Structure 1
Amino acid sequence: MEDNRDRLRRLAMISLHTSPLDQPGIGDAGGMNVYVIELARRLARQGIEVDIFTRATSSALEPVVEAADGVLVRHIHAGPYEGLGKDELPGQLCVFAREVLRAEAAQPVGHYDAVHSHYWLSGQVGALARDRWGVPLVHTMHTMAKVKNEALAIGDTPEPAARIIGEEQVVQAADMLVANTDLEAKQLINLYDACASRVEVIHPGVDLSVFRPHDQARVRDELGLPRDAVVLLFAGRIQPLKAPDVLLRAVAELLRQVPALRSRLVVPVVGGPSGSGLEHPESLAQLSTELGLDGPDGVVRFVPPVAQADLARWCAAATLVAVPSYNESFGLVAAEAQATGTPVVAAAVGGLTTVVRDGHSGLLVEGHEPRDWAAALRRVIEDDELRVRLEVGALEQARQFAWERTAERTLDVYARARALMRESVS
């Protein structure tokens, strides 16, 4: 096969609603931000020039920012900088698309060789760019409305019909679709009538140079955690979908069963409100109070979102990382935690069933009942032999998720998309 780098020189990535420069855990920034920037960096190391188009959210942002060697982030002005929710962004698609096309028009003809869009809003713009530039469109959904609506958290808002229609249009327009897991691929085919031959499963990666084992005693000292503490960590956006409340309710149940554990238990919640969680940003703190988990002898610590290197330290400091989400297309936090050698207790949903190997790198919990979660947490806490086995398995499981492998396979998908487009033209 001809080397991918000879066939692909420049790539346009579209990440409309969230910038790869944003801090994960704040607002809409999360695993997709990490995915976009890490994939772009690895592609650039392969000699591909990557331009990432995203919506400007501040007048202080430079029009073009070099995020890494070979990676430019282009800020597009579309709508007000602040106060625009994700549900209001469809009204800015036209302006955003116009500015993306205008930026490309300022370059020599044939400047980009392919478009890779992320999330359905970006896919709408990517479909227009595909037809205008005559280059293939590769799309990654990251999350899907039909899947989210089938597994809504209590108090969460269903995704609107307009999003479902938009996703269906993107699926039909894309030359190739990248799914994070086999389950996501099946959902694209069964729920969105995607052509199976145009869906490729590529696992996201983990930066194994950042997420790696640390000396637990040292990082606990640095983070102000007692060396002998039982540390149950939640890391992610605070919203119903991610279900941090499930962990708190499980911890309350655990303390009812084992009251003596309170003196050693620490439950850090690392992240900020997002999505429907923005409507009641104080609700998790209120729940903590209602459950008796704060106060002078409280166990819950709320920690603002942190950079990747610091998140790695929090994961390494933890006894386990809890991922109780109602749905995850992949579950990047679980993969990152395992790469530090920390076991994961996760909901048996979506991509988490791929990322976490039940009984080997962590435990999968069916449902979201506090008693079931308390039982799983207690197993890892009290069974030293199990915990050590899971720590070893976590490292082993994480090795299969590397961004370099993700980039290599994505390059192959770009090549297939270009071949398919040539076939359709000839």
Structure 2
Amino acid sequence: MENASLRIAFVVLHTSPLDEPGTKDAGGMNVVIRAQAAELARLGHEVQIVTRRSSPELPAEVALAPGLTVHHLDAGPARLLAKGEHEVLIAPFGEALAAHLVDHPADLLHAEHWYSGLAALPVARSTGVPLVQSYHSIAAPEATPLTEGERPEAPGRLAGEQLLAREADLVVTVSRAERATVLERLGGDPARVRVVEPGVDTEVFRPCTDRERAEGSEWIAHGGLPEVLVAGRLHPLKGFDLAIAAVATIAPERRPSLRIVGAPPPDGDAYVRLLHLAVADAGMLATTSFDGALHRGVLAERLRHATLVLIPSHSETFGLVALEAAASGVPVLARAAGGLREAVLDGETGLLIDSDEPRVWAAEIDALLRDHDRIDRLGRAARASALTRSWRASTEALIAVYRELLAGD
């Protein structure tokens, strides 16, 4: 099977790869799945993405490209659910998955997130099809700091993640940091955990042209403000409140504009209200924009026109926005947490900040905005680094992992 075409089924219970990242519960995981699935199909493999029907209007199948199809299975109500509501759907979705695979067989199942893994595990055992598990985020107990991971959104999460670390045939993580968490917190077997780093589309995410750069310089010369941007799901784990507080701490005469890109998850309205109130209380209504979730092409445009990108997330298994900013030639200021330590090369493509104090972030932002030569150096190095991280290379590494697993069966 060394060069044979593979039949691969990605199993994604709680979110659809058709959803725009930054909406609903869609985020970096959705980007990784869709990009790797598309590359697998281009390389001649037969790929299906199996997800839950979250709207009655969704068709049973959506062909995204030759060899790549999304399948919507019925499990629970055909409507959008809060993330924590999916735990009760694990068994029904697993039953629907088993029935689906009778007519759409696969050589291996790749479950994304713990809901999907628990649904797929009994199916894999009953059919003899190997199960690959990816987490993309790993929960931490309620009493631990947010820097350790997400809060469990459902009661069975921690136990479920530990079970999958023991029982899945292989665990694929997106960073060395996530691998360490799987081993230390979940009790994973080092022999069955592999790291496959994500890639980035360096054509969609590109630096400004000379003309765009000149227009930006002219804008600032005539009184326009430099812009810092923060993007992701509007969720407390992502630290948007810290971004607002940091910008607010900068002296008003030097304060940049702030662009916030993303939308809340289905249960996230309270946090969004707090963000809007924080902006109002800081007197930043005129210089802050809430853009909502953006199509990838529009996000790329916003990124390349930003002066700096902030990633104040308390925890990230990797941090795709850091790669997308790097590909755009824009330096990143990121929290020194999890996989961000690997996505951002400290002092070379951006800066890592080991603090949750707004004044510390404000000082770094302010200093960089006044050092144009350093911003240019960081941006050029970031672009060069991003050019070494393609989705093709990421997917070829994933295929190698798949073939290693299948060869051992």
**How does 1:161-200 map onto structure 2 within 5 Å?**
161-200=155-194
Task: Choose the corresponding residue for 1:292, options 277, 283, 294.
Answer: 283
1:128 alignment counterpart: 122
1:312 alignment counterpart: 300
Deviation per CA, 1:237-296, whole angstroms, max 9, x where unpaired?
A: 1111001110110111113xxx3224xx321111111265334432211110011111xx
Contact 1:324 1:347 in 2 (8 A): yes
Q: Secondary structure at the match of 1:282?
A: helix
Contact 2:46 2:68 in 1 (8 A): yes
1:261 aligns with 2:258: no
Q: Secondary structure at the match of 2:289?
A: strand
Classify 1:280/1:353 alpha carbon distance in 2 versus 1 (closer, same or farther; 3 Å). closer
1:246 alignment counterpart: 242
Contact 2:14 2:52 in 1 (8 A): yes
Task: Choose the corresponding residue for 1:50, options 47, 51, 59.
Answer: 47
Contact 1:126 1:137 in 2 (8 A): yes
Contact 2:114 2:135 in 1 (8 A): yes
- Cα distance between partner residues in 2 of 1:19 and 1:79: 15
Deviation per CA, 1:135-191, whole angstroms, max 9, x where unpaired?
A: 1111111000138974327xx855554100111111112111111111111111111
1:66 alignment counterpart: 63
The amino acid that maps onto 2:129 is V
- Cα distance between partner residues in 2 of 1:189 and 1:91: 27
- Cα distance between partner residues in 2 of 1:253 and 1:56: 45
The amino acid that maps onto 1:98 is E
Task: Choose the corresponding residue for 1:234, options 227, 230, 233.
Answer: 230
Classify 1:161/1:59 alpha carbon distance in 2 versus 1 (closer, same or farther; 3 Å). closer
The amino acid that maps onto 1:410 is L
Task: Choose the corresponding residue for 1:392, options 363, 375, 380.
Answer: 380
Classify 1:304/1:378 alpha carbon distance in 2 versus 1 (closer, same or farther; 3 Å). same
The amino acid that maps onto 1:195 is D
**How does 1:218-229 map onto structure 2 within 5 Å?**
218=212, 228-229=224-225
Task: Choose the corresponding residue for 1:117, options 111, 119, 128.
Answer: 111
The amino acid that maps onto 2:254 is L
Percent of aligned positions with the same letter in both sequences?
Answer: 35
Classify 1:279/1:157 alpha carbon distance in 2 versus 1 (closer, same or farther; 3 Å). farther
Deviation per CA, 1:218-248, whole angstroms, max 9, x where unpaired?
A: 38979xx868531100111111100111011
Contact 2:262 2:294 in 1 (8 A): yes
- Cα distance between partner residues in 1 of 2:354 and 2:399: 36
Classify 1:377/1:344 alpha carbon distance in 2 versus 1 (closer, same or farther; 3 Å). same
Classify 1:300/1:260 alpha carbon distance in 2 versus 1 (closer, same or farther; 3 Å). same
Contact 1:21 1:67 in 2 (8 A): no
TM-score, normalised by the number of residues in structure 2: 0.93
Q: Secondary structure at the match of 1:281?
A: helix
**How does 1:391-410 map onto structure 2 within 5 Å?**
391-410=379-398
Where structure 1 has 5 or more consecutive residues not aligned to the other structure, the ranges are: none
- Cα distance between partner residues in 2 of 1:199 and 1:180: 11
The amino acid that maps onto 2:202 is L
Q: Secondary structure at the match of 1:135?
A: coil
Contact 1:135 1:418 in 2 (8 A): no
**How does 1:278-289 map onto structure 2 within 5 Å?**
278-289=269-280
1:414 aligns with 2:405: no
2:134 alignment counterpart: 140
TM-score, normalised by the number of residues in structure 1: 0.90
1:97 alignment counterpart: 94
Where structure 2 has 5 or more consecutive residues not aligned to the other structure, the ranges are: none
**How does 1:147-162 map onto structure 2 within 5 Å?**
150-152=144-146, 158-162=152-156
Contact 2:97 2:120 in 1 (8 A): no
The amino acid that maps onto 1:384 is H
Contact 1:230 1:319 in 2 (8 A): yes
Q: Secondary structure at the match of 1:146?
A: coil
Task: Please report how far the alpha carbon of residue 34 of structure 1 lies from its aligned counterpart in structure 2 after TM superposition.
Answer: 0.6
Task: Please report how far the alpha carbon of residue 215 of structure 1 lies from its aligned counterpart in structure 2 after TM superposition.
Answer: 2.5
1:32 aligns with 2:22: no
2:336 alignment counterpart: 348
